[in-house]
Amino acid sequence: MSAFDDDQDMRAHEDDLLSGRPVLSEPELVAFVAALRATADEPAPRPNPALAALLRDGLAPPAATDPARVRAPRHLWPAVRDHVRTVAGLGLGAKILLGAGLAAATVTGAATIDAVPDAIQGPANAVVSGVVHLFRPAAARPTPAPARTAARTAGPDPRPHAAAGVDPGAPTALPAPVAAPSPPVPAPSGPPVGTATVDPVLPAVPDIRALLRAPSSDPAVTIPVLPVIVVPPVIVVPGVLGQ
Amino acid sequence: MLDDFDDVLARAQVGSADAFTALYEDLVRPVAAYLRARGVREAEDVTSEVFLAVFTGIGRFVGEQAQFRSWVFTIAHRRVVDGWRKGSRTPLEIPYEADHDARTSCSAESDALDGLGDIRVLALLADLTPDQREVLTLRIIGDLTVEQVGDALGKRPGAVKALQRRGLATLRRVLLAEGVTL
């Protein structure tokens, strides 16, 4: 008799034993199996309130739903999942660039879209203007334009002759032209009524929307759409982390 | 066993209370016995939890009556394991005490059946390892095949057969050592 036959015989013997069939050679185990089986003949336990309610009332059949409403997420989720997997598969540098690009696009959009509230557009406008200012070629940067500044700020200038209603482009330190002498303009004693004050240290903020709409031939208004933010590499020392 | 299982299952899958009751009455006693044999202290509550899980998930079940029985015991097994993991329920270890031993004679099988009461049976199960106990209770109380037990426990049939064989050998040795001649 082979080992396979032995195994088959042993399995048949155990199956008979465990299923409660009489096995004459092992009355002790037969009695044990019968006693264990008899524990299942005890009265059924009382169901708890939740199960009792279920046995009494049943369950409401699942409500019929609009197939279109059910299918939509199934079509949407794979696409979202694909995008997430694509981004997750990028390297660290690519993720940083992507994040910086998204942030720049968001700020630029907030600064240029008219529908954005002023409370958001103002700071965004200032940020984008600062970046644009950095990326302008030095030669193309306009010299401080007192006329634009005064026109936009309409406030007191630290220079003594800058005042509302006075041409601030006229150099106050130069002597007046001989051909057209003019009386000296009195220095203002304070901000004129009806004008707003601005921080005299900060340069005037140009209107970014006007800059973006300007023709691209003007080198002074060439704007980098996505400024690159360079993040210094972080060197991780394992010994330091372990402490 | 239900004669019209397919019809009962179909009605249960749409929430019929009568079908739930039929399935419950068919399996509640062996499930409760299995939980008691596994040492679950709040066997009544856990039995209700098992059937609540069965009835709320029955819409996804596909199979025949034997597979349904195996599925129900699989849920019961998982409840037992969850209870142990939470630490709120520990296996009921019943030490053997002669005062509680109702055996007065060992002359006939009927006397042996009376003598091997619930407490004695649970005490004998306590001599087994947890895996051996799990296999034997599912085989004897649950009426599951070796393959179904393997599915419920996540073990290969060969491993189930080995546990079953070693468990029976342990029981055989203990019964003979204690002089339980029937």
Q: Does A50 touch chain B (CB under 8 A)?
A: yes
Tell me the mean pLDDT in the region A58-63: 74
- Domain boundary (B53, B86, B119) is at B86
Same domain, B67 and B129: no
Structural domain contains residue B148 = yes
Structural domain contains residue A97 = yes
Question: In chain A, what is the greatest distance between 2 CA atoms, to the nearest angstrom?
Answer: 139
Candidates A26, A33, A36; nearest CB to B37: A36
* The pLDDT of residue A84 is above 80: no
Q: Does A46 touch chain B (CB under 8 A)?
A: yes
> Which residue did the predictor score with more confidence, B37 or A77?
B37
Query: How far apart are the C-alpha atoms of B80 and A151, rounded to whole Å?
Result: 80
Structural domain contains residue A31 = yes
> What pLDDT does residue A147 have?
47
Query: How far apart are the C-alpha atoms of B6 and B19, rounded to whole Å?
Result: 11
Per-residue pLDDT band for B101 (boundaries 50, 70, 90) equals low
- What ipTM is given for this predicted complex? 0.78
- CA distances to A59, A64, A65, A73, B98 from A70, in Å: 22, 10, 7, 7, 65
Q: Does residue A42 contact residue B32 with C-beta atoms inside 8 Å?
A: yes
Structural domain contains residue B34 = yes
Lowest mean pLDDT among A26-30, A83-87, A92-96, A234-238: A234-238
Per-residue pLDDT band for A108 (boundaries 50, 70, 90) equals confident
Query: What single letter denotes the amino acid at residue B39?
Result: G
Q: Does residue B182 contact residue A24 with C-beta atoms inside 8 Å?
A: no
- CA distances to B35, B53, B135 from B151, in Å: 18, 18, 11
Q: Does residue A17 contact residue A33 with C-beta atoms inside 8 Å?
A: yes
Tell me the mean pLDDT in the region B155-163: 94
Terminal C-alpha separation, chain B = 31
CATH number at residue B155: 1.10.10.10
pLDDT of A145-175, one tens digit each?
A: 454 444 444 444 444 444 444 444 444 444 4
Q: Nearest chain A residue to B115 by CA: give it.
A: A35
Q: What is the mean pLDDT of chain B?
A: 84
Structural domain contains residue A32 = yes
Terminal C-alpha separation, chain A = 66
Structural domain contains residue A120 = yes
Q: Does A67 touch chain B (CB under 8 A)?
A: no
Same domain, B26 and B73: yes
Tell me the mean pLDDT in the region B142-167: 93
> What pLDDT does residue B75 have?
95
Query: How far apart are the C-alpha atoms of A72 and A60, rounded to whole Å?
Result: 25
Per-residue pLDDT band for B52 (boundaries 50, 70, 90) equals very high
CATH number at residue B26: 1.10.1740.10
- Domain boundary (B52, B86, B120) is at B86
- Domain boundary (B31, B52, B86) is at B86
Candidates B36, B118, B171; nearest CB to A29: B171
Query: How far apart are the C-alpha atoms of A8 and B151, rounded to whole Å?
Result: 21
For chain B, the residue count is 182
* The pLDDT of residue B54 is above 80: yes
Structural domain contains residue B38 = yes
* The pLDDT of residue A233 is above 90: no
Query: How far apart are the C-alpha atoms of A35 and B118, rounded to whole Å?
Result: 7
Q: Which range marks the domain in which residue B139 is found?
A: 98-177
Alpha helix ranges (H) inside chain A: 3-18, 27-38, 49-57, 67-88, 92-112, 118-135, 146-153, 208-213, 238-241
> What pLDDT does residue A139 have?
52
Structural domain contains residue B125 = yes
> What pLDDT does residue B141 have?
93
> Which residue did the predictor score with more confidence, A221 or B65?
B65
> What pLDDT does residue A118 have?
82
List the one residue out of B97, B93, B177 whose CA is nearest residue B129.
Answer: B93
Q: Residue B33 and residue A42: Cβ atoms within 8 Å? A: yes
Q: Nearest chain B residue to A29 by CA: give it.
A: B172
Q: Does A135 touch chain B (CB under 8 A)?
A: no
At B3, phi and psi to the nearest 5?
Answer: -75, -35
Structural domain contains residue B91 = no
Same domain, A30 and A96: no
Structural domain contains residue A20 = yes
Q: How many alpha carbons lie under 13 Å from residue B73 in its C-beta half-sphere?
A: 32
- Record the tokens describing residue B156, joined without a space: 């290969």
Q: Which range marks the domain in which residue A21 is found?
A: 10-42
Q: Does A48 touch chain B (CB under 8 A)?
A: yes
Query: What single letter denotes the amino acid at residue B46?
Result: V
Structural domain contains residue A53 = no
When divided into structural domains, chain A yields a total of 2
Query: How far apart are the C-alpha atoms of B108 and B4, rounded to whole Å?
Result: 40
Query: What single letter denotes the amino acid at residue A69?
Result: R
With a CB-CB cutoff of 8 Å, which residues 25-54 of chain B face chain A?
A: 25, 28-30, 32-34, 36-37, 43-45, 47-49, 51-52
Candidates B15, B121, B180; nearest CB to A60: B15
Structural domain contains residue A136 = yes
Pick from A136-150, B43-57, B109-123, B164-178 the range whose average pLDDT is largest: B43-57
Structural domain contains residue B182 = no
Per-residue pLDDT band for A83 (boundaries 50, 70, 90) equals confident
Q: Does B24 touch chain A (CB under 8 A)?
A: yes
Q: Residue A26 and residue B172: Cβ atoms within 8 Å? A: yes
Pick from A107-116, A158-167, A192-201 the range whose average pLDDT is largest: A107-116
> What pLDDT does residue B107 have?
41
* The pLDDT of residue B48 is above 50: yes
* The pLDDT of residue A63 is above 80: no
Candidates A28, A39, A57; nearest CB to B17: A57
Structural domain contains residue B49 = yes
When divided into structural domains, chain B yields a total of 2
> What pLDDT does residue A172 have?
41
Query: How far apart are the C-alpha atoms of A216 and A138, rounded to whole Å?
Result: 17
> What pLDDT does residue B95 have?
56
Same domain, A159 and A92: yes
Query: How far apart are the C-alpha atoms of B36 and A153, rounded to whole Å?
Result: 86
pLDDT of B59-95, one tens digit each?
A: 999 999 999 999 999 999 999 988 877 765 455 555 5
Q: Residue B141 and residue A39: Cβ atoms within 8 Å? A: yes
Task: Write the DSSP assignment of B80-103 as a string of letters.
Answer: HHHHHHHTS---------GGG---
Structural domain contains residue B92 = no
Structural domain contains residue A190 = no
> What pLDDT does residue A137 have?
61
